[in-house]
Chains A and B, each alone.
Chain A
Amino acid sequence: MTKQAVPKLKLSPFTRLALLAVAVILACTLFLTWNVKASWAFTLEFRGQKLISMVLVGIFIAIATLLFQTISQNKILTPSIMGFDALYMLIQSVLIVLIGASGYSILNEYTKWAIEITIMTSMMLLLSKFLFRGSAQSIQLLILSGVVLGICLSSINGLVFRMMDPSQSVVAQDAFFASFSSPSIALVQLSYLLLAATFVYLFRYHHQLDVLLLGEQTAHSLGINYARLTQHLLILIAILVGMSTALVGPITFLGLLVVHLAYQLAGSYKHKILLPFAALLGVLVLVLGEFILQHLVSFNTRLSIVIECVGGLVFLALVIKQAKS
């Protein structure tokens, strides 16, 4: 019998998960304690804040991407294709134009977050209300419309950007790239809430996600309320992406990267394993990446730019691989 073992190492999925968790803890410790020059209290607080935002974003983006791929039955999509990033940038541009560069920089975090998350979630709700008819086919329609909408939004954003004065455009440019500097406490608290809610929801429904892998019709036959489940997941994805974008800015390629690593390394198709695995990988990639960038190569660039670049290469590799098979 040709038992083609995918993993070369014979480790159970739980062992793999545990190993990954250890790696994440090590990376976080390393990040916090490497080469401390200032006082410990200051360093730990400063780096700790940064670490928290990386942990939150790593988890949110990984989970959002995995869920998106499961409901779209497509392994080369990320939620960013729905135009979330474009919408986020447009919101920033419009805000800067409306209240000016200085007004934008002192804008209350709660207000800014509330504006962002409301607009981004309502876009998804509107799209799904008008286009989603509860079948896999209409998911495709939804995604396509998202793509078109995304292009449209980023063109509008380009227009708005050109109308800014130079000082405004500098601020806007800065807002277009994800940055892991210290997020506001308010945002972090809201993120904890979201994290808890996501955890509870996925803990209850992760097995239904496994059934979704068999396709819409089989899921129906096995008693899954496909339309309702997909609708809930779409909303959850919108909130997760919106939240992580509000925290650090657009960084959606990260999801593609870590979810694919998770498919390869987790050794299981079950969401019970895949979800935490991808989430931990998301954290690991961000923390290790930032650590290497800051301390080892003392590169003065943003991690998000490196990740977008690597993520883009992974995406290309995937497309080429799919075309070959």
Chain B
Amino acid sequence: MIEFKNVALSYGQKQVLKDINLTLADTGLTSIIGPNGSGKSSCLSLMSRLQKASAGEVLLDNSPIQQIPANQLAKKLSILRQDNHTNARIQVKDLITFGRYPYHQGRPSAEDLKIVEQCIEYVDLQAVQDRFIDQLSGGQRQRVFIAMVLAQDTQTILLDEPLNNLDIKHSVSIMKQLRQACDELNKQVVVVLHDINFAAHYSDTIIALKNGELVANGSPTDIMQDSVLSHIYDMPITVTNIQGKPTCLFYS
């Protein structure tokens, strides 16, 4: 369970997050939405300890996240950021094996390799598993990193815009897999998403940020309202029911 207690974050003079209070359930898929620069990624960074809150406290399973030893945290929570880049020539399979690092500390066991194999299948990368990552397309690379995070096998998985660079087919399949991880493996997944319809379709909860403030927090049906969305994005947005699902049309 992740809790934010009066959390604020500022870079110098600029306040990025203001007084956030938030509790995320143990399991289920939560999407964070909001305009650019609203503090979504910062919020995720705080949850994963990549950054330290300027004020307030972030708790993971009731203990302050700053006090959890690094290696223990890596077995409870994993994060995938937007820009994943490496200079090294690493093969796909080796990179995904790094996901097991918190468990094997450099010496992957047969068990670890089996999990890696499953993750490769999960994201549909068998065909390229022996290639070097600099030989992959942007979408494939994104799936490699997602597989790495899945291989880490943590209760909580944080993903910062995981659908970046992915075509519709792979976006849908990644979201389905995340959904499946929540339903079948009881994971907690938190994703930053830009596509509201993806968020609405697959999430249990949607959190909306605007100018560093929490402006909405609720089920997709609560959030998928003309007034709520129009307020978040400062533009007219109409929600329509298509095949029983609230879908928003923002093309004008």
Contacts and interface: CB of A to CB of B under 8 A. Distances in A.
Interface residues of A, number: 25
Nearest to B128: A1
A73 B102 contact: no
Interface of B: 48-50, 70-75, 78-81, 84-90, 94-95, 98-99, 101-102, 105-107, 127-128, 130-132, 135, 149, 152
Given A4-B132, A207-B105, A220 B50 contact: yes
Contacts of B78: 221-222
A214 B88 CA distance: 8
10 contacts: A4-B132, A75-B87, A207-B105, A207-B107, A217-B81, A221-B48, A221-B50, A221-B78, A223-B70, A223-B73
A222 B152 contact: yes
User: Which 6 pairs, one residue from A and one from B, show the smallest C-beta to C-beta distance?
Assistant: A207-B106, A223-B74, A223-B71, A213-B88, A269-B88, A223-B102
A222 B98 contact: yes
Contacts of A73: 87
Contacts of A214: 84, 86, 95, 98
A130 B202 CA distance: 47
Nearest to B49: A220
A167 interface: no
Given A4-B135, A215-B84, A269-B90, A222 B102 contact: yes
B71 A1 contact: no
A47 interface: no
Contacts of B88: 213, 269
A200 to B, nearest CB: 16
A211 interface: yes
A2 interface: yes
A210 B106 contact: yes
Among A73, A215, A220, A224, find the residue whose CB has the most chain B CB atoms closer than 10 A: A220
A133 B60 CA distance: 24
Contacts of A221: 48, 50, 74, 78-80, 149, 152
A207 B131 CA distance: 22
Interface in A192-240: 206-208, 210-211, 213-215, 217-218, 220-225
B87 A220 contact: no
Contacts of B149: 221
Interface in A1-41: 1-4, 6
B135 to A, nearest CB: 6
B21 to A, nearest CB: 25
B79 A217 contact: yes
Contacts of A269: 88-90, 94
Given A4-B131, A217-B81, A224-B70, 18 more contacts: A1-B131, A2-B135, A4-B132, A74-B87, A75-B87, A207-B105, A211-B98, A214-B95, A215-B85, A220-B49, A220-B79, A221-B152, A222-B98, A222-B99, A223-B73, A223-B102, A269-B88, A269-B89
A1 B127 contact: yes
Nearest to A213: B88
A322 to B, nearest CB: 11
A16 B131 CA distance: 21
Nearest to B103: A223
Among B99, B106, B107, B131, find the residue whose CB has the most chain A CB atoms closer than 10 A: B106
B30 to A, nearest CB: 18
B106 A223 contact: no
Contacts of A213: 86-88, 90
A296 B192 CA distance: 65
B82 to A, nearest CB: 10
Among A1, A75, A214, A221, find the residue whose CB has the most chain B CB atoms closer than 10 A: A221
Contacts of A1: 127-128, 130-131
B200 to A, nearest CB: 28
A225 B135 CA distance: 30
A3 B106 contact: no
A218 B99 CA distance: 9
A70 B18 CA distance: 37
A133 to B, nearest CB: 11
A206 B106 contact: yes
Nearest to B45: A217
A268 to B, nearest CB: 9
Contacts of A75: 87
A6 B89 CA distance: 10
A205 to B, nearest CB: 9
B161 to A, nearest CB: 14
A203 B101 CA distance: 17
Contacts of A222: 74, 78, 98-99, 101-102, 152
